Amino acid sequence: GFSGYDVNGVYYSLIEFNLPPISSPVNFAALMLYAQAGKETPVAMSVDRILNSWGWENGDRLWWKDKPQAALVHNIVLPAPTPSRWYFIDITELYLDWMLRPSRNFGLQIRPISNNNAFNSFASSLFDDVTKRPRLLVCFGGGDTASHR
């Protein structure tokens, strides 16, 4: 994942999962993020579908000028997260689309609806405590669930 900001204090987070092959029908999929406690002011967010490759290798950095294009998923504002708690984002529609068209899986972008240095801080895939790293929760038709990191 990537989290960054521009010179105007606009903060965005980008995340992408490699999806495992699944043979059961999926009823629900959610991105699970652990909201870290800090000095930031939590803010409501929107979710965008990333439309093209990030153009970077894992371990490198993504420059703001090279940030991939993205489009709003729904015109729904997600509430601000509560620090030191898990935050769930329903991505069922995106997940199902990615399963049908894997070539469109470039991940998603989470962005605050307002800025002025108000932002959310989530544990990343490199976070020291592995139990708080981002996860993809998938619920299947028979009530089974799977969690992927």
CB neighbour list of residue 64: distance below 8 Å, 6 or more residues apart: 4, 5, 6
pLDDT in tens, 121-149: 899 888 999 999 999 999 987 665 555 55
Spell out a b/e string for 111-145, using b for 16 or more CB atoms within 10 Å of the CB, else e: bbeebeebbbbbbbeeeeeeebbbbbbbbeeeeee
Give the separation between CA 39 and CA 113, rounded to whole angstroms. 19
58 or 85, greater pLDDT? 85
Q: Judge if pTM exceeds 0.75.
A: yes
Give the separation between CA 30 and CA 139, rounded to whole angstroms. 9
Residue 85 bridge partners (DSSP): 35
Give the separation between CA 16 and CA 54, rounded to whole angstroms. 10
Work out the burial of residue 85: count CB atoms within 10 Å of its CB; fewer than 13 is exposed, 13-18 middle, 19 or more buried: exposed
142 or 40, greater pLDDT? 40
**Whether the predicted pLDDT of 49 surpasses 70:** yes
Give the separation between CA 140 and CA 9, rounded to whole angstroms. 40
Closest CA relative to residue 134, chosen from 63, 34, 47: 34
